Amino acid sequence: MKFKYVIVGAGLAGLTLAERIANVLNEKVLIIEKRGHIGGNVYDSYNEDGILIHNYGPHIFHTNDREVYLYLSNFTKWNDFWHRVLTYVDGNLVPMPITVETINKLYNLNLDCSQVEKFLQERAEQIDEVKTSRDVALSKVGKDIYEKIFETYTKKQWGLDPGELDTSVISRIPVRLNRDTRYFADKYQGMPGHGYTRMCENMIANKNIKIMLNTNYKEIIDQLHYETLFYTGPTDEFYDYKHGKLSYRSIQFQFETLDKNEFQEAPVVNYPNDYDYTRITEFKKLTWQDHKKTTICKEFPCSDGEPYYPFPTKDCKAMFALYEEDMKKEKNVVFLGRLAEYRYYNMDAVVRRALDVFGCRCQAPN
C-alpha cells in the first residue's frame, strides 16, 4: 500500500496533522491506531447509564494560543466552562490553586490580598537555586502549606518525593495573590459542546483520511510505502528499547455510577493526604449533562499500565536524550506528541506542535 503520509497514533497530535494534510493539501493520509477508538487520551464516551465520561481522566481545554483555539473551534462549539477544583485538607474543602480564599479557609483567617502576600512571604523559604518541585513549593508557600497540599499528593501521583522531580511539575500550579479561584487563568477555556470524541470525528471527516484501528503500526509498517511517517507513539518502542525502557506514570481510573443527582461540590476534588487516590472527578459537573444519576472517577496512580505521564526526573531525561540523538538522524520520520517527545504537553500545546510540524514538513502540491 502506498501513502505519501502515514501517521501513527490517532490522538490530538495525529488527528490535527491528518486534518491539515487532508483538507489543506487535499492529499491522502493513513492513520494507524492501536486502540479501538480515535482521540487518544481525550477520548470520551457515554457509559451504560448514558452519562458522558472522559475515559482517560478529566480533560479541560484551556489556552492562551488564539490560533489553536480558533482552529479547534472549526470542529466544535464550546460550553463556556471555567474549571474549579477543591482540595480536602484538615477536614475542609479549600480552593485550588492557592488563592487568598485558600489561605483564609486553611487557617481560619480573614486576610485581604496584601495581607496574604505578607503571610506567604513570612513563610516562604529562601532557596538560592530552585532545582526541584520541592524547592518550587517551599520557596513560594513554605513548609506547612507544602506539607498540607503538595508533598503527599505528589508522592501519590508520581511515586517519588517532590525533591526528585524537576521544577516543571509543581510549577504547573500557580500561587495567586487574589481571589480568582478558577483552576486555569488562560484566556480561552471550554468544554466541547458534544464532547471530545465528536470534535475529533469532525476533524477527520474527510475521505482523504483512512484509519486502521486496533492495529499496532509494527504489524504492518513493512508493507507500507510512504514519504513521511509522523510518529506519536512512545519513542522507546519505536527503537525497540535499544537505550532502555522510558518510565511513564500510569493511572487506574475507577468509575462508579451513583443513584443520586450530585456527589461533590466541584467538578474535581483533590485528596492530598487521605485515601490512595489523588482526586475524584464528577463528570456531569464538567459536561453540564442533565441526568438523574451521576458518574464519578477515582484516580489511582501506578507504575504499570498505559503510559500517561512522562517522568520528569534527571535519569529519565538522560535516557530520552539518547533517543533524541537517534530521532535527529531520521530523514523521513517526524516525532511529535506527549509520548514521542516525552513531554508533559497539554492539549493546546500538542495541537500547536502539530500545526507547526505541518507548516514545516508538508508541502502544498505545485
Q: Name the site residues for ligand FAD (rule: CB under 6 A).
A: 8-14, 32-35, 40-42, 56-60, 216-217, 232-233, 237, 251, 308, 337-339, 345-348, 350
Q: Does 3 bind ligand UDP (CB under 6 A)?
A: no
Q: Of these, 16, 104, 154, 294, which contacts ligand UDP (CB under 6 A)?
A: 154
Shortest approach of ligand UDP to residue 112 CB, angstroms? Answer: 24
Chain centroid to CA 19: 21
Q: Of these, 72, 96, 327, 339, which contacts ligand UDP (CB under 6 A)?
A: 96
Shortest approach of ligand FAD to residue 350 CB, angstroms? Answer: 4
13 contact choice in ligand UDP, ligand FAD, none (CB below 5 to 8 Å, kind-dependent)? ligand FAD
124 contact choice in ligand FAD, ligand UDP, none (CB below 5 to 8 Å, kind-dependent)? none
Shortest approach of ligand UDP to residue 33 CB, angstroms? Answer: 23
Q: Which is nearer to ligand UDP, 145 or 327 (CB)?
A: 145
Q: Does 116 bind ligand UDP (CB under 6 A)?
A: no
Q: Which is nearer to ligand UDP, 149 or 229 (CB)?
A: 149
* Cα separation of the two ends of the chain: 24
**Can you tell me the distance from the alpha carbon of 85 to that of 95, in angstroms, rounded to the nearest whole number?**
6
State how beta strands 209-212 and 29-32 pair. Answer: parallel
Q: Which letter does DSSP use for residue 365 in this model?
A: P
Residue 290 sits at φ, ψ, to 5 deg, of -95, 120
Segment contacting ligand UDP by CB under 6 A, of 17-25, 147-155, 184-192, 195-203? 147-155
Q: Which is nearer to ligand FAD, 2 or 172 (CB)?
A: 172
CA neighbours closer than 13 Å in the CB half-sphere of residue 218:
7
Chain centroid to CA 219: 28
Q: CB of 210 within 8 A of CB of 57? A: no
Q: Does 157 bind ligand UDP (CB under 6 A)?
A: yes
Q: In whole angstroms, how large is the CA radius of gyration of the chain?
A: 22
Q: Which is nearer to ligand UDP, 51 or 136 (CB)?
A: 136
The interface mask with ligand UDP, positions 325-344, x = CB under 6 A, is --------------------
Burial class (CB in 10 A: 0-12, 13-18, 19+), 210: middle
Which residue do the cell numbers 500557580 mark? 174
Shortest approach of ligand UDP to residue 192 CB, angstroms? Answer: 18
Run of H or E including 52: strand 52-54
Shortest approach of ligand FAD to residue 291 CB, angstroms? Answer: 22
- Return the ∠ at Cα 45 (arms to 302 and 203), rounded to 5°: 105
Segment contacting ligand UDP by CB under 6 A, of 22-30, 110-118, 168-176, 311-319? 168-176
365 contact partners, CB below 8 Å, separation of at least 6: 25, 26, 27
Q: Does 173 bind ligand UDP (CB under 6 A)?
A: yes
DSSP secondary structure, 219-272, as one string = HHGGG-B-SEEEE-S-HHHHTTTTT-PPPEEEEEEEEEEESSS---SSSEEE-S
Sheet holding 78-79, edge to edge: 61-63, 188-192, 78-79
Shortest approach of ligand UDP to residue 198 CB, angstroms? Answer: 23
The interface mask with ligand UDP, positions 253-282, x = CB under 6 A, is -----------------x-x----------
Shortest approach of ligand UDP to residue 152 CB, angstroms? Answer: 8
Shortest approach of ligand UDP to residue 250 CB, angstroms? Answer: 12
Chain residues that interact with ligand UDP, rule: CB under 6 A: 87, 96, 149-150, 153-154, 157, 169-170, 172-173, 270, 272
